[in-house]
Chains A and B, each alone.
Chain A
């Protein structure tokens, strides 16, 4: 049995209580939500927090609410709840695409959206999803609440704008009319981390041209969105050539590294291939038909 190094444990009763506990126990205290990233790392003794602050009792962080053009998702919302939510599937099909391939049901029953974003693993799927949907993250700390764009939230692999003494409380997704999104991942086996994945969101204008687009890549060494790739789409009518050009640019923007999941050339190929697939699917979902060249 893998055994973590010794640690102390406290169970927070409210957001305020959690913040106080973090403050009291100092820099070596760590919030635990679903625990599906933190606990394995603790068992391997790669993570050695002195205190775990358990926030699983904070029901106020568990909600999915459509509210004035925004979908508000509490940070403690489980993957399974996102996957089970009709409103999420209707407004943001990309979330369901991604959730279906996040780990396995056991992990999805425990893992949370806040935990996923906070962990900021480069192979983590919801980060790309939130990038593509231009979500905002609500962070609460000793100085009060602040709302940051997801682009600012992420500061690199395993690094975010949420400080040690702060708590992610909510993720907000702007609802856009005439838009759709999609996500696709290649994995060696169900439940494995992504070899590579891509996500895309498109918004169609009244004239049938693409009004807005966003493309994100997972596990492909791209921080934030593939902006050049998205830019070629805007103002254009969807076509296979246009998709191919965007995919080519997305692959160009990627900088994958070789590992056991595959070599660089394969991963870059996947950036291209998966970008094509998600753009096609997102356009299909929004009702556009890409005309063959």
Chain B
């Protein structure tokens, strides 16, 4: 595998395109401005709340003020008497429709509207449908609910205590708060390596509960037509097709009568994968009232009730030799899943892809075990660009490697370099069953170190320490596993994790590509056009990308886990290649030669040895749809479709280094510099890649320094608004410095690996490692996120405490 080492920004991203005659009409891969941006920068995006249907009513959800309570009674009389209220729906009403409970994406059920108990603060209790959103909200106050308070389980560490209140007494046979135990790797082998190791370091590492907090909150408009029995559902969803199938299974509406439309989506980050009670209520509301019903949650509802992320308490251990060879890692994780097990991940992976916690290192053994528990908190857990828990895995191993470096008094970068999987070991089978497709780690870390001036920074740090100034340098190196996935291993509620794509070239040579994945800001309308353009030589703006409408696109599982390019990107490339093969046959007929005598260059076929005898893709398209006599077995179009079943996942990687300064008097952390060197294989649009990285790095700084959803002892959510749940602003992040290497995926049609979540995964450990490094003079070896001024100061006083 060749690794191309380049440093961005490059004046020339790629070879000049032979088909490119007009620089304003770029073809294929390269730094191209996003096609979707003109409407966004003009404020002309069409988001869910922009959709207004004739006669549309508005819904609002009444939520539980308590974390755990028995529902004694609900009186809706006064709300129904409100002149503008059309309907009030309670759990009892849904019971009659067999919709009070709905299956989750993790083989559990969750309440749509509470019938027996409420199990977290903010849980859905009733749904009001009114003429306008103001009246709907006003009427919520007119519903009288009597609760009988129950003891709460907030601390996951106490969830399995013998006396702990049983949250899920609705489940037959459930006598405690245990959800699952899951493990990966060889325990006996790992224990044996630990037993003979010179050095073992141990550290409890907490990845606290955070929230994706997309700019647009979740919502839906249900429009049920009682005449033809068709349900049109506008939704903020990252997975329109999966939603349609699930609604068909749950609500009993035939799948061909359901159309899910996802317009522009203002960020998802995994928050918009699941089906929320509000969506189901909007559907029921529309059926009951015979009118379209819009429901859009507010910011507090989004933060308090929709899918959170992380909440992993990880006991990490590393075994190593005294001279710095890492031998094995092991961990036990306590996973807080909230009141319902509603994490969205492949069925066989209840802890997602956490077992990639072996990181980027060549180990002799590894073992992890995960115990999932219920608590009186909102459900969720797989979200916030986590790549199915790779975030937690990378944070654990990268924190632990630094703990080891400190113990061995070795430079953390050197320790990593000494333990990397070597390039000749790829494809590399790790000790928990993953086959890393390709990688060349050392050049990426060396590039990062050189770009940030690592040696100079260490010198500066030594000088500053002598003066009592606190400066920290944090290194992290991550390997992701994304692009789920091969259908033999991976499904979500029985749906194989494959995606379809359909390419049509119109008679005039313009094209449309229909995809199943769903952009939430990633730039699909540009990236997928570029893939088709690269394969067929059609300018990017001549290719329309259609997505977000189940009536218009092929089936597929949607966008999350950085899977769009690895899965749908593969589908689109292969569909375009099918078109090209067809074009070749037609071109041969047009040029009165044999297909094998034709040569392709981007945008045209020509006769070998006679480049002037050529047909462009436009000419071939017109020929295909025209009167050209078609070869045997070729029909009259330039269309193709493919459903792509990836043979393996892809393994993007990267080296990140962060520099922080800590105010010794206040504990305030300032991120001074951050260099990110990423390798996502083939870079389709470097500008979009960088944008994805910038966003993820900001996420990482946010999580490392400020983001946290806490609860008080009664189970009240303490992160229910942007006054309490802090996300970083431009003032907290530095100017990002990026670099890249290119190690293509050997099994992916275009060698691309996906980039959407790399930076969110890789950056938190870099920031925290930098903070801990800054505090090393105080004997600090670990500090849990978020590194707020108060928590940093406590660590300096010798009292670093976990946030939960």
Query: Do the beta carbons of B729 and A189 come within 8 Å of each other?
Result: yes
Q: A1-B133, A3-B133, A189-B729 are in contact. Are A263 and B794 (CB under 8 A)?
A: yes
B-side contacts of A191, CB under 8 Å: 729
Instruction: Pull 12 A–B residue pairs with CB atoms less than 8 Å apart, ordered by A.
Output: A1-B49, A2-B300, A3-B134, A104-B729, A188-B706, A192-B726, A195-B790, A262-B788, A270-B666, A273-B665, A273-B666, A277-B665
Q: How far is the CB of B221 from chain A (nearest CB, A)?
A: 14
Query: Which residues does A use to contact B, with CB under 8 Å?
Result: 1-3, 5-6, 40, 44-45, 104, 186, 188-193, 195, 260-263, 266-267, 269-270, 273-274, 277
B724 partner, pick from A260, A267, A277, beta carbons under 8 A:
A260
**Assembled-state Cα–Cα distance A269/B724 (Å):** 23
Task: Report chain B residues within 8 Å CB of A1.
Answer: 49, 133, 296, 298
Bound: A267/B133 CA distance, A: 42
Secondary structure of the A side of the interface?
A: loop
A186–B789 touching, CB < 8 Å: yes
Q: Whose C-beta in chain B lies nearest to the C-beta of A191?
A: B729
Contacts of B138 in A (CB 8 A): 3, 5-6
Inter-subunit contact B665/A188 (CB<8 Å): no
B137: CB under 8 A from chain A? yes
**Whole-angstrom distance between the Cβ of B720 and the nearest chain A Cβ:** 10
**A188-B726, A189-B728, A262-B789 are known contacts; what are 9 more A-B pairs with Cβ within 8 Å?**
A1-B133, A1-B296, A5-B141, A104-B729, A188-B789, A189-B726, A189-B729, A266-B793, A269-B793
Q: In the complex, what residues of A have CB within 8 A of residue B134's CB?
A: 3, 6
With A1-B133, A3-B137 already in contact, the answer to whether A195 and B732 are too (CB < 8 A) is: no
**Whole-angstrom CA separation of A190 from B726 in the bound complex:** 10
Q: Closest 8 A-B residue pairs measured CB to CB? A: A262-B790, A190-B731, A3-B137, A273-B665, A2-B298, A266-B790, A189-B726, A186-B666
Residues of B within 8 A of A5 (CB): 138, 141
Q: Compute how far the CA of A191 lies from the CA of B789 in the bound complex, rounded to whole angstroms.
A: 15
Does residue B652 face the partner (Cβ distance < 8 Å to A)? no
**Chain B: which residue is nearest A270 at the CB level?**
B666
- Tell me the residues in window 712-740 of chain B with beta carbons closer than 8 Å to chain A beta carbons: 718, 721, 723-724, 726, 728-729, 731-732
Nearest residue (CB) in B for A192 is B726
Cα-based distance from A255 to B788 in the complex (angstroms): 21
**B666 contact set on A, CB distance < 8 A:** 186, 270, 273-274
**How far apart sit A30 and B710, CA to CA, in the bound complex (Å)?**
34
In-complex Cβ contact of B790 among A3, A6, A193, A261 (8 A): A261
User: B668 near A: Cβ within 8 Å?
Assistant: yes
Complex: A3 Cα to B138 Cα, angstroms:
8
| Other-chain residue from A104, A189, A260 in contact with B732 (beta carbon distance below 8 A) | A189
- Binary per-residue interface labels of chain B (780-804) against chain A in the complex, 1 for a CB within 8 Å, 0 otherwise: 0000000011100110000000000
Contact A195 B706 (CB under 8 A): no
What residues of chain B lie closer than 8 Å to A260, measured between beta carbons?
710, 718, 724
B732 adjacent to A190 (CB under 8 Å): yes
Interface status of B299 (Cβ within 8 A of chain A): yes
| Chain B residues, CB < 8 A from A266 | 667, 789-790, 793-794
Hey, what's the 0/1 contact readout for B270-300 against A, CB within 8 Å counting as 1? 0000000000000000000000000010111
Number of A-B contacts (CB under 8 A): 66
Chain B nearest CB from A101 CB (Å) reads 10
C-alpha spacing A264/B454, complex, angstroms: 38
Out of A2, A190, A273, name the residue touching B299 (CB < 8 Å): A2
- Distance in angstroms from B655 CB to nearest chain A CB is 27
Q: How far is the CA of A1 from the CA of B297 in the complex (A)?
A: 6
Closest to B727 in A: A189
Most buried by B among A261, A262, A267: A262
Residues of A within 8 A of B300 (CB): 2, 44
Considering the complex, give the chain A residue whose CB is closest to the CB of B726: A189
Once the chains bind, are B789 and A189 in contact (CB under 8 Å)?
no
Q: Which residues of B contact A263 (CB under 8 A)?
A: 790, 794
Collect the chain A residues with CB atoms within 8 Å of residue B49's CB: 1
User: B789 and A195: CB pair below 8 A?
Assistant: yes
Closest to B712 in A: A260
Chain A residue at smallest Cβ distance from B730: A190
Interface digits, B343-372 against A, CB 8 Å rule (1 contact, 0 not)?
000000000000000000000000000000
Contact residues in B for A273 (Cβ distance below 8 Å): 665-666
A3 CA / B140 CA spacing, docked (Å): 12
Chain A residues with Cβ below 8 Å from B296 are 1
**A44 CA to B722 CA in the complex, in Å?**
12
CA distance A228 to B616 in the complex (A): 88
Q: Which of B134, B296, B665, B728 counts the most A-chain CB atoms under 10 A from its CB?
A: B665
Q: Could you tell me if B668 and A189 are in contact, using CB atoms closer than 8 angstroms?
A: no
User: What are the interface flags for B660-698 relative to A under an 8 Å C-beta threshold, 1 for contact and 0 otherwise?
Assistant: 000001111000000000000000000000000000000
Q: Select the residue from A44, A188, A270 with max chain B CB neighbours within 10 A.
A: A188
> Which chain B positions have C-beta within 8 A of A193?
723
Chain B positions 296-317 with a Cβ under 8 Å from a chain A Cβ: 296, 298-300
Chain B residues with CB under 8 A of A261: 788, 790
Residues of B within 8 A of A44 (CB): 300, 721
A185 to chain B, nearest CB (A): 10
> Shortest beta-carbon distance, A111 to chain B, in Å?
15
Q: Chain B nearest CB: distance from A129 CB in Å? A: 20
Collect the chain A residues with CB atoms within 8 Å of residue B721's CB. Answer: 44
Report the minimum CB–CB distance from A86 to chain B (whole Å).
Answer: 24
| A45 (CB) vs chain B CBs: closest residue | B141
B residues near A186, Cβ cutoff 8 Å: 666, 668, 789
A76 to chain B, nearest CB (A): 25
B729 to chain A, nearest CB (A): 5
Q: In angstroms, how far is the closest chain B Cβ from the Cβ of A247?
A: 11
On chain A, the residues within 8 Å of B729 by CB distance are: 104, 189-191
**For residue B298, which residues in chain A have a CB less than 8 angstroms away from its CB?**
1-2
Instruction: Output the nearest chain B residue to A3 by Cβ-Cβ distance.
Output: B137
Chain A nearest Cβ from B767, distance in angstroms? 14
Chain A residues within 8 Å of B723, by CB: 40, 192-193
